[in-house]
């Protein structure tokens, strides 16, 4: 997958970080693998680091900056947030 690497402005970054931190660990792991290309073997560790350290996690900015695109990351966030309503 080709990566877009469009920078987030400060307000967008804060909103997206908050949305990611509200996800379950398994959902964060999926983002890491599907949207950012982390190895499947690392998904649980990445998710645990983000859940444990929150905004201090080194993986959180990587998750946002290495996403295939902002639109992909936002689509998955929307999907996870709205899937619980069904």
Asked whether residue 48 is domain-assigned, the answer is yes
pLDDT exceeds cutoff 70 at 4? no
- Measured at the CA of 21, the angle between CA 73 and CA 36, to 5 degrees, comes to 35
CB 46 within 8 A of CB 1: no
Give the pLDDT of residue 86. 55
pLDDT tens digits for range 30-58: 999 999 999 999 999 999 999 999 999 99
Q: Quick check: 8 and 70 in contact, CB under 8 A?
A: yes
Q: Is the pLDDT of residue 6 over 70?
A: no
- Work out how many domains the chain is built from and give that number: 1
Query: What does each C-alpha distance from 29 to 9, 49, 58, 79 come to in angstroms?
Result: 24, 10, 15, 14
In a domain, 15, yes or no: yes
57 in any annotated domain:
yes
Evaluate whether residue 47 is within a structural domain: yes
CA distance 64 to 27: 14
Domain residue limits at 36: 11-83
Q: At residue 79, does pLDDT exceed 90? A: yes
Residue at 42 is within a domain: yes
Q: Is residue 2 part of a domain?
A: no
């Amino acid at each position: 997958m080709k990566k877009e690497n469009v920078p987030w402005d400060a307000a967008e970054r804060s909103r997206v970080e908050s949305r990611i931190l509200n996800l379950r660990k398994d959902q964060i792991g999926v983002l890491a693998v599907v949207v950012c290309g982390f190895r499947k073997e690392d998904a649980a560790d990445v998710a645990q680091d983000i859940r444990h350290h929150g905004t201090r996690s080194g993986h959180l900015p990587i998750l946002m900056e290495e996403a295939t695109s902002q639109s992909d990351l936002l689509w998955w966030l929307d999907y996870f947030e709205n899937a619980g309503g069904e």
